[in-house]
Amino acid sequence: MAAVGRRDLLRHLVKAGAIALAAGGAVLEFGAASEAAAPLETPTRRKHRYGMVIDTRRCVGCRACVVACKAENKTPPGVAYTVVLDGLLGERPDDRPLFMTKPCFHCEHPPCVSVCPVGATFKRRQDGIVAVDYDRCIGCRYCITACPYGARFFDFGENYGAVAEGTPYAQVPSPEYRQFRVRAPGASPVGNVRKCTFCLHLQDEEGRYNRAAGRWPACAKTCTGHAIRFGDLGDPESEVSRLLRARQPIRLKEELGTEPNVYYLL
């Protein structure tokens, strides 16, 4: 009998534990527009492949996307689903500043999924969006360590003043995953890992967004410079697909093989 390596053994144990947990628990549901976790190697038919194309020439670093995201998802202090990085495009002080919006990249091969010991982080079969099941997440934060893009945050239970003081705003639920949770001490998502969802709660029952109707990711909808473009990368006639053909895009850390679904135009 061939010797079993430590990594293979750990992988087997994690897989066995996740299967046992799934068998003993409730069926994972995120409303009509979602499905249960599935192994990445399982071939599935995808309806959509949602992603972003971000034009760094248009981004002015206003951070309206950050504010809009927080308002849409009601994220607490220390949790930001998108951030804006800044620097210089060259080495001289008078070189053009470069701003880079950074959401979750919703990778085709997300490392966060493979390290989750309980299957709380998974890639949705129908649209490729990487999601988190708050009721299943145990807060181990393995996914935070595994993510090479720093796109995940832990909810330590902090609150902004309007929530901590129990104002009427505190009773307004978050629309995330269409679960409409009212923030409460010790209740999910407190103690969970959180991340950008491409505002999937704005999809219709067919898994589609509607830009004209305002059902569009908050960051892209609010971007003052129209730097953030969102759409279906699987549709050759979508705005994002046309942009990728017209300009030379890059993806961050492509050498890792994660195949992120967020592209940058320099």
Q: Which of 32-36, 160-164, 183-187, 198-202 has the lowest mean pLDDT?
A: 32-36
Does the pLDDT of residue 227 top 80, yes or no?
A: yes
Residue carrying structure tokens 């030379």: 248
pLDDT score, position 173: 97
Tell me the percentage of the chain whose pLDDT exceeds 90. Answer: 76
Look at residue 90 in the predicted model and tell me its pLDDT: 62
- What CATH code would you report for 6-265? 3.30.70.20
pLDDT beyond 70 at 16:
no
Assign residue 189 a region: left if phi > 0, alpha if psi is -120 to 50, beta otherwise? alpha
Q: Give the model's pLDDT for residue 266.
A: 86
Across residues 254-258, what is the average pLDDT? 95
Mind listing the pLDDT tens digit for each residue in 182-224?
Answer: 999 999 999 999 999 999 999 999 999 999 999 999 999 999 9
Across the chain, mean pLDDT equals 85
> CA nearest 123: which of 210, 17, 195?
195
Evaluate if residue 12 carries a pLDDT over 60. no
pLDDT for 63 beyond 50: yes
pTM of the predicted protein model: 0.81
Q: What is the mean pLDDT of residues 53-61?
A: 94
Q: Using only C-alpha atoms, what is the Rg of the chain? A: 19
Q: Are 147 and 54 in contact (CB under 8 A)?
A: no
pLDDT surpassing 50 at residue 1: no
Question: Would you state the pLDDT for residue 232?
Answer: 98
| pLDDT beyond 80 at 11 | no
Question: What whole-number percentage of the chain has pLDDT above 70?
Answer: 80
Domain ranges of the chain: 6-265
Q: How far apart are the first and last CA of the chain?
A: 54
E strand map for 61-176: 83-88, 97-102, 121-123, 130-132, 152-154
- Helix (H) and strand (E) counts in the chain: 7, 10
**Tell me: the pLDDT tens digits for 65-113?**
999 999 999 999 999 999 999 876 666 666 778 899 999 999 999 999 9
Name, in order, each residue with C-beta under 8 angstroms of 150's C-beta and a sequence gap of 6 or more. Answer: 102
